[in-house]
Amino acid sequence: MTLPPPVLSVTVTLPEWVASVVDFDAPYLTDRERMRLAIRLSRENVERAAGGPFGAAVFERVSGRLVAVGVNEVVPMGNSTLHAEMVAIQCAERRVRSYSLHESRVEHDLFTSCAPCAMCLGATLWSGVTRLVAAADREDAERAAFDEGPVFAESYAYLASRGITVVRGFLREEAVEVIELYRRTGGVAYNG
């Protein structure tokens, strides 16, 4: 079998529906508002059959300004790295025009509808966010046959040692409903 020529570029594009669901001009002042946006993104992604049951958003901590959002696009884009957190971080860095959110001199929070997998935890560390807030837990994703990789208590301790505050289980039940919806409707567990 002959392989096609190598791809020299990769473009990540959010689904068109995101513009109709997300108000980029509104301040998201509370953790509840911020997490509800991440969970809404995950639900819309499932209900529109646009990808996996995960959503994420990056905010400026103090102002509540929404910097970027991400939804899981692994299956539709054919790219195992396009988890919601990865997409949100990539879009946030693009928006602030830097490889690190630290460069903007503003503290950023990453809100995600599910605790990050091993890849997304690494990206969280290197992205420059200083606070990670997750809804559903690893076990919730694993019940839907997702493999979260090597994430340990030490992984979170390492983030804390690097100055990243971690909050887990925030609005967990709401996020679990979306994962269960995805499972019940025959969603693909692409890495299980």
**Would you say 192 and 117 are in contact if contact means Cβ atoms under 8 Å apart?**
no
Amino acid in the structure at residue 39: I
Size (the chain), residues = 192
Degrees to nearest 5, angle at CA 152 with 183 and 186: 10
Q: Which of 60, 85, 93, 148 is catalytic?
A: 85
Residue 133: DSSP 8-state: E
Largest CA distance in the chain: 55
Active site residue 174: no
**Would you say 29 and 64 are in contact if contact means Cβ atoms under 8 Å apart?**
yes
**4 Cβ neighbours under 8 A, 6+ residues apart:** none
Degrees to nearest 5, angle at CA 59 with 90 and 35: 105
Q: How far apart are CA 159 and CA 18, in angstroms?
A: 30
The residues carrying an active-site annotation are: 85
